């Protein structure tokens, strides 16, 4: 699991901060931003595949959260609520940046037509291919995959965050992984083996 | 060998299976190489996905400051949404109120008409005690022209009276029903869209 998970704060302390922020205290909201920055950034980065876009989307997430804070209900953990906003903000940002992103991504070839151990790609190339494969997933499936793989959320937390039934979480995750396995099949090799081949 | 458990392997891998299902999957995995290989590929995929690292934010403090600078002064959107949401839920309530009002009005009207025809309201003012005679002028005209007479004319008068009394009520009921069903259809569409991942803006 990555280091970008939820910052540690007790539920009670967070509830107090939320109440204060709901009453318009900007300092309390800043504290909430500080706590959830890494988690939100992690989610939007893996959704968008670009650090600059993710930075914008993360900022947009917190601005929307501030604007809608009075509609937040404590039955949902703040993290889940923020991730739902982050998903929407990320998708909007991607649509806005569409002119730039596809060209960058299309430069990468997903399927390596060459065969044989000599052609195993380098670590960087592999990372870019994985990123592209994730980006090519349908939005709804990508969101579920990102929350599960990079945020380590349980199915019920994902269902809560995305406001969908648990069965839908399962089917989208199955679908996303199935597509990724098909796309990345040639790369599902042990990295150590690839590195060894490269050094030859 | 038991049936393959491919559909449950993701949930098993994610630690989301419990009880009998978990036991069934474990038992199958112990004897099925194909499912074992599939489970192994999930491990491989996860490892591959985690090769993509999230970059460090250049300065988390600066990020918080940037957010702070961009925050609008008032939290206004939520209250607007609340009003819209309240209005949305008031539509069926309003339609129900109109339906109750329309039905009450027609029931009272029917009672008054019946009472009037029975002569119970003879002492009341003319505007209230409307008789059925005023409702059959079309049939009367047809009768005067000689097109209908006798039983035919009497049937036409009855039909005209019934139509004149019922048509507005039926039309209003149908209109209210159509509006209510439209609201229900939109509500259902919104619900389905939300379930299929078209998430509402936070």
What are the pLDDT digits (tens) for A21-40? 999 899 999 999 999 999 99
In a shared domain, residues B87 and B175: yes
> Residue B1: inside a domain, yes or no?
no
B168, two tokens: 């507005």
Domains of chain A from N-terminus onward: 1-97 (1.10.1740.10), 107-200 (1.10.10.10)
| Cβ separation B48–A184 shorter than 8 A | yes
Residue that is last in its domain, among B27, B43, B70: B70
CA–CA separation, A179 vs A130, rounded Å?
12
> Residue B200: inside a domain, yes or no?
no
Residue A96 has pLDDT above 70, yes or no: yes
Cβ partners under 8 Å of residue A53, min gap 6:
A44, A90, A93, A94, A97, A101
Residue that is last in its domain, among B49, B70, B91: B70
pLDDT of residue A121: 58
CA–CA separation, B75 vs A32, rounded Å?
16
- By the CB < 8 Å criterion, does A36 face chain B? no
> Residue B201: inside a domain, yes or no?
no
The tens digit of pLDDT for each residue in B141-198 reads 777 777 766 777 778 777 877 787 778 778 888 988 999 999 999 888 877 665 544 3
In a shared domain, residues B124 and B174: yes
Residue B42: pLDDT band with limits 50, 70, 90: very high
The tens digit of pLDDT for each residue in B143-156 reads 777 776 677 777 87
> Residue B41: inside a domain, yes or no?
yes
Query: Picking from A35-49, B64-78, B82-96, which range would have the lowest pLDDT averaged per residue?
Result: B64-78
> Residue B132: inside a domain, yes or no?
yes
Chain A CB contacts of B200 below 8 Å: 163
Q: Among all chains, which residue has been given the structure tokens 């009272």?
A: B108
Helices (H), ranges, chain A = 11-22, 26-48, 51-67, 78-96, 101-106, 123-135, 139-149, 155-162, 166-184, 191-199
Report CA B69 to chain centroid distance, whole Å.
41
Candidate from A63, A71, A163 with C-beta closest to B67: A63
In a shared domain, residues B101 and B141: yes
Residue B89: pLDDT band with limits 50, 70, 90: confident
Chain A CB contacts of B71 below 8 Å: 26, 29, 62-63, 66
Q: pTM of whole model > 0.80? A: no
Q: What is the mean pLDDT of residues A165-192?
A: 85
Residue A110: pLDDT band with limits 50, 70, 90: very low
Q: What is the distance in angstroms between the CA of the first residue and the CA of the last residue of chain A?
A: 31
> Beta-carbon neighbour count of residue B101 at 10 Å?
11
Residue A146 has pLDDT above 80, yes or no: yes
The tens digit of pLDDT for each residue in B124-136 reads 555 554 555 556 6
Task: Tell me which residue of A177, A175, A164 sits closest to A87, measured CA to CA.
Answer: A164
CA distance B199 to chain A (A): 7
The DSSP element (H or E) to which B87 belongs, if any, is helix B77-117
Chain A CB contacts of B7 below 8 Å: 174
Domain range holding B102? 77-195
In a shared domain, residues B135 and B42: no
Q: What is the mean pLDDT of residues B39-60?
A: 89
Q: Report helix angle A78-96 to A26-48, nearest 10.
A: 50
pLDDT of residue B73: 76
Task: Tell me which residue of A75, A152, A69 sits closest to B72, measured CA to CA.
Answer: A69
> Residue B134: inside a domain, yes or no?
yes
CA–CA separation, A44 vs A118, rounded Å?
35
Residue that is last in its domain, among B70, B87, B116: B70
The tens digit of pLDDT for each residue in A52-80 reads 999 999 999 999 999 999 889 888 899 99
The total domain count for chain B is: 2
In a shared domain, residues B11 and B39: yes
């Amino acid at each position: 699991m990555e280091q970008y998970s939820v910052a540690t704060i007790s539920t009670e302390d967070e509830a107090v901060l939320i109440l204060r922020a709901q009453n318009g205290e900007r300092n309390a909201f800043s504290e909430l931003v500080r706590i959830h920055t890494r988690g939100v950034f992690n989610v939007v980065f893996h959704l968008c595949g670009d650090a600059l876009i993710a930075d914008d989307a993360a900022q947009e997430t917190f601005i929307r959260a501030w604007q809608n804070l009075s509609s937040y209900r404590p039955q949902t953990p703040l993290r889940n609520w923020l991730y739902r906003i982050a998903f929407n903000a990320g998708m909007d940002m991607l649509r806005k940046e569409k002119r730039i992103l596809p060209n960058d991504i299309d430069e990468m070839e997903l399927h390596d037509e060459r065969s044989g151990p000599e052609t195993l790609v380098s670590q960087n190339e592999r990372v870019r291919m994985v990123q592209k494969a994730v980006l090519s997933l349908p939005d709804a499936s990508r969101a579920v995959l990102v929350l599960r793989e990079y945020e380590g959320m349980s199915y019920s937390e994902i269902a809560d965050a995305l406001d969908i039934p648990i069965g839908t979480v399962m089917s989208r995750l199955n679908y996303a992984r199935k597509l990724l396995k098909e796309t990345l099949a040639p790369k599902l090799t042990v990295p150590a083996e690839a590195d060894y081949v490269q050094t030859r | 060998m038991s049936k393959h458990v491919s559909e449950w392997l993701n949930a098993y891998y994610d630690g989301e299976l419990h009880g009998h299902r978990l036991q069934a999957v474990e038992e199958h995995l112990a004897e099925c190489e194909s499912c074992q290989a599939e489970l192994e590929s999930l491990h491989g995929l996860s490892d591959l996905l985690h090769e993509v690292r999230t970059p460090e934010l250049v300065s988390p403090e600066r990020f918080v400051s940037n957010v702070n600078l961009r925050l609008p002064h008032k939290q206004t959107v939520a209250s607007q949404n609340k009003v819209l949401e309240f209005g949305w839920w008031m539509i069926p309530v309003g339609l129900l109120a109109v339906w109750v009002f329309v039905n009450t009005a027609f029931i009272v009207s029917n009672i008054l008409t019946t009472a009037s025809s029975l002569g119970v309201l003879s002492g009341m003012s003319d505007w209230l005690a409307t008789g059925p005679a005023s409702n059959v002028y079309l049939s009367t005209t047809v009768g005067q022209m000689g097109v209908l007479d006798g039983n035919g004319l009497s049937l036409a008068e009855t039909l005209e009276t019934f139509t004149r009394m019922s048509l507005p009520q039926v039309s209003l009921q149908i209109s209210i029903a159509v509006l209510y069903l439209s609201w229900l259809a939109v509500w259902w569409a919104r619900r389905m869209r939300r379930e299929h991942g078209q998430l509402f803006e936070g």
